[in-house]
Amino acid sequence: MLAEILPEVSDAQLERFFQVMLTQYGMDFREYAPASLKRRIGSVMRRYGLTDADTLIQRLVTQPEYFERFLNEITVSTTELFRDPSMWVALRVQVLPQFVSLPQLRIWQAGVSTGEEALSLAILLSETGLYEKAQIIATDIDKRSLEQAAKVSYPLRQRALYEQNFYAVLPGVPFSRYAEEKEGQLVFDPQLLRNVQFLPHNLVMDSPFGQFELVMCRNVLIYFTPSLQDRVVTKLVDSLVPGGVLVIGTKESLFWCQAAKRLTGVNEAERIYRKRA
């Protein structure tokens, strides 16, 4: 299959995009990986039939109401229920037992997109008896994605994949305990969100929320330059209590992050780390 041909975005156009996003909307994209960002801008341009990035930039300048729709499209990430099932199994077996004796379990999930990450964690906590003590802060830069996450409703075509992942993590547990088909959608039990708070948050520019026993930030760092990864990982590690656990994406690395010196490996293959006491 031939690779998709996207409209080109020049370095000069990318610089103009940075300037508009920063000065007009307070969003700093300057240390996002340039090649990846150009592809995502090109993808949005193709979707709207635009051949010149300057046209897109001018639309952002003159049509502020377009900004949120554009942000939703440029930041959309690939997500699914129990994505990378082996990581969730490792979390269930190697991490969650350490929280059993705690009176309260505080969790920050960064970059939750349309909410499947938060649902996955809520289900896992329910099955391990930890949900009632948990407080989950689920954040994303895109408000539209968070609005979708709060609906706990997904296209029915996702059911086969979601069930497959679910049973890989929780064999023997009926999928119907948590989800049902309703009006052509796959709808999850809204009670799963009773201890989940969805909040807009910009990992690049905003401060962390406090101290947590578990911080999860999967498949977000991959879009940043190494220097920005370093700063963001420092925020994440600062947010952990001593002995707290950090989970990042399996395609991501802490190789160039100074804060990695404050972590020890729990499961290196699944990118699960513990903050040194």
pLDDT in tens, 9-52: 999 999 999 999 999 988 899 888 898 899 889 988 988 888 89
pTM as predicted: 0.87
Q: How much is the CA Rg of the chain, to the nearest whole Å?
A: 19
Structural domain boundaries in the chain: 11-75, 85-275
pLDDT at 171 over 90: yes
- For the segment 177-229, what is each residue's pLDDT rounded down to a tens digit? 999 999 999 999 999 999 999 999 999 999 888 999 999 999 899 889 999 99
Other Cβ atoms within 10 Å of 36 Cβ, number: 13
Supply the pLDDT for residue 208. Answer: 86
CA 237 to CA 116: how far, in whole Å?
23
Supply the pLDDT for residue 2. Answer: 40
Please tell me the CATH code under which domain 85-275 is placed: 3.40.50.150
How high does pLDDT run on average in the chain? 93
Supply the pLDDT for residue 4. Answer: 63
Yes or no: say if 270 and 248 are a contact pair by the CB < 8 Å rule: no
Q: Give 11-75's CATH code, choosing from 1.10.3470, 1.10.155, 2.60.120, 3.30.200.
A: 1.10.155
Phi, psi of 26 (to 5 degrees): 70, 25
Yes or no: say if 221 and 248 are a contact pair by the CB < 8 Å rule: yes
- For the segment 107-139, what is each residue's pLDDT rounded down to a tens digit? 999 999 999 999 999 999 999 999 999 999 999
